[in-house]
Amino acid sequence: MKNRVLLVDDEKEILTLLTYIFEKQGYSVQSVQRGDDAVKVATSWSPDIVILDIGLPGLNGLEVCTHLVAMDIPVIFLSSHDQDDQIIEGLEVGGEDYVSKPFNYKELLLRVEKVLKRVQVHEEKILVVGDLTINLEQQTLYCKDVLLNLTPTEFKILEVLATYLHTPVSVQKILQTVWKNEDWIQGSELVKVNMSRLRKKVEEDPASPRYIINKWGVGYILTDAKGT
């Protein structure tokens, strides 16, 4: 089944270009030039993701984003460099990401793919990574059909990593999501200790991890190093 993308921009030329790009990649596409029309189409068509400009007639992009987030539809903003303050507002009201105009279409496609993967992880609730089977709804982790006993905190860390599968997750992001605080002085040490405990349960050889990789200066990645 094709992923559905709704394109929203008041410039017809940009919509034409984006439509060509996404249809060529196999997406099902609809496009509108007004914010109020975007909400109507999203309500009736239920797109998997929306590429949204900020400066729109009818409703502006920030107002549209609020409606879309309420419908659990992820949003990537298209912005001009002079709209940085509005982009921050957009992320605060629930936008997933943004791409600046003029945009690189390969970058845009990659960002769309990453967002869709994150959404699909939550929708499917079950994620398989190598020999690991993570059930996000039941909060269980199996390795080769053996149940691994994780503490609630350990599973929360695993869930964050699973949400951003194959993508580095910063220490600050982990602190904010798991402990609701990213400014702790000893925060990095807190994450390090709990990550070490999680590895001891997940990894066959914690000193040479297969699944939870630390990319220095960037963050932790849940992946299958053996399968890459």
Give me the CATH number covering residue 137: 1.10.10.10
Q: How far apart are CA 180 and CA 174, in angstroms?
A: 9
Residue 79 lies in a domain: yes
Give me the CATH number covering residue 94: 3.40.50.2300
Residue 120 lies in a domain: no
Which of 37-41, 123-127, 158-162, 190-194 is least confident? 123-127
Q: Say if residue 134 is in the same domain as residue 216.
A: yes
Q: Say if residue 108 is in the same domain as residue 10.
A: yes
Beta carbons of 75 and 50 less than 8 angstroms apart: yes
Q: Say if residue 74 is in the same domain as residue 103.
A: yes
Tell me the torsion sign for CA atoms 80, 118, 151, 218. Answer: negative
Return the SS3 of 28.
Answer: strand
Residue 105 lies in a domain: yes
145-197 per-position pLDDT tens digit? 899 999 999 999 999 999 888 889 999 889 988 887 766 667 888 999 999 99
Print the domain residue range for 179: 125-227
| Predicted confidence band of residue 137 (pLDDT cuts 50, 70, 90) | confident
Beta carbons of 90 and 98 less than 8 angstroms apart: yes
Of 86, 114, 142, which residue sits at a domain end? 114
Q: Say if residue 152 is in the same domain as residue 201.
A: yes
Beta carbons of 127 and 134 less than 8 angstroms apart: yes
* C-alpha pair distances (Å), 186 with each of 3, 112, 181: 42, 34, 11
Taking the model in full, what pTM does it have?
0.57
Q: Say if residue 161 is in the same domain as residue 209.
A: yes
Q: How far apart are CA 61 and CA 78, in angstroms?
A: 10
Residue 19 lies in a domain: yes
Looking at the 3D structure of the chain, how many domains does it have?
Answer: 2
Q: How far apart are CA 220 and CA 155, in angstroms?
A: 15
Q: Say if residue 148 is in the same domain as residue 52.
A: no
